[in-house]
Copies of this chain bind each other. A is one copy, B any other.
Amino acid sequence: MSEKIGIAIEADPGPGILYQLTGVIARHGGNITSVDIVEERQTYFEIDIAEEPAALIGELSALPIVHRVWQVQTFQAVFGKRVIIMGGGAQVGQVAIGAISEADRHNIRGEHISVDTIPLVGEQPLAAAVRACARLPRVKALVMAGSLMGGDIERAVREVRAQGLLVVSLNMAGSVPAAADLVVSDPVQAGVMTVMAVAETAKFDIARLKQRTF
């Protein structure tokens, strides 16, 4: 049986550090499921490992480049699933109200859902942000919250849906609503429905509502 552990490491900065750290982890048969470089000197790993972590921690601590190694809680346990809302400040704020209130209700019952937002303007920045979401860990759904979105944003929405992300759109001008999984007119309702769709604790089957407009 393998166990997931969180390990934080303080080490010298510079090229090759991650190579040395991951070498030790590989020798102990650890499968790295998450890694973050917090700042130049601190790296944080989540590792699936079959053995007791003491030997791995000991060998990491013994590397000349390493100053300190300590075990911490895993991010999955703290932050869980992520919903990302992007677009104009006015609409993003209202969608956030709905999503945050609904996430609170599920988190109280044992879920771990966090709600992230990015207030942003312009076709190219928004398309880049949509594509970047597919490269962020733990993201389950996007809400497109604006008045007019189309062109390359529409293409980006179709790409990330093909990669498995759920995309909800406000009812707005442009071609993005037609490319979304679900279109919702009221921003608070859009936030609530998106969180319900990703929560295990909710009775809400997005597959039965695909491409509907509310």
Residues of A within 8 A of B (CB): 8, 13-19, 22-23, 25-26, 29-38, 40, 42, 44, 72-73, 75, 77-79, 88-90, 92-93, 96-97, 100-101, 103-105, 107-108, 113-121, 125, 128-129, 131-132, 134-137
Pair A119/B96 contact, Cβ less than 8 Å:
no
A42 to B13, CA, bound (A): 25
Q: A115-B116, A117-B96 are in contact. Are A132 and B78 (CB under 8 A)?
A: yes
Please state the number of chain copies in the assembly: 2
Q: Give the residue of B18, B107, B129 whose beta carbon is less than 8 angstroms from that of A35.
A: B18
Taking a contact as CB atoms under 8 Å apart, the answer to whether A35 and B35 are in contact is yes
Q: Which of B44, B72, B101 contacts A89 (CB 8 A)?
A: B101
For the complex of A and B, list the 5 residue pairs with the smallest distance between their C-beta atoms, beginning with the closest.
A89-B104, A104-B119, A16-B26, A19-B22, A116-B116
CB neighbours (8 Å) of A100 from chain B are: 89, 92-93, 96, 117, 119
User: A32 to chain B: which residues have CB within 8 Å?
Assistant: 15, 17-18, 37
Partner of A33 from B37, B79, B105, B128 at Cβ < 8 Å: B37
A42 to B131, CA, bound (A): 14
A46 to chain B, nearest CB (A): 9
Q: Contacts A79-B118, A108-B121, A118-B79: A137 and B96 contacting too (C-beta < 8 A)?
A: no
For residue A113, which residues in chain B have a CB less than 8 angstroms away from its CB? 119
CA of A121 to CA of B128, assembled, Å? 34
> In the complex the two chains form, is B89's CB within 8 Å of A93's CB?
no
